[in-house]
Amino acid sequence: VLGYFLRFKRSGSSILDPMQADAYGMFLVHYPIVLWLQYWLFDFDLPAIVKAVVAFVLTVALSWASTAALRRIPGVTRVL
């Protein structure tokens, strides 16, 4: 499977390319964000798929923003 995707990968930029540098930091900070969002969405009377989409979009956005903010602290870029 990996060989297939490596062979047929499109060249050029992707919409997710700007996120590549922050991927590890997003991985590190996303868990508390997901927990907080799920707790916050628990009392809303929405279908589960809507809650999942809202949690996903907000988790990606907040994780990316918090990682970008953390990377501005001197020395943190060596870890993130």
Dist. CA 79–CA 45, nearest whole Å: 40
- The model carries a pTM of 0.76
pLDDT digits (tens, 9 = 90+) for 35-77: 999 999 999 999 999 999 999 999 999 999 999 999 999 888 7
Q: Phi-psi category of 73—alpha, beta or left, where left has phi over 0 and alpha has psi -120 to 50? A: beta
SS3 44: coil
- Output the CA–CA distances (angstroms, integers) from residue 70 to 16, 22, 24, 33, 60, in the order listed: 20, 10, 12, 15, 15
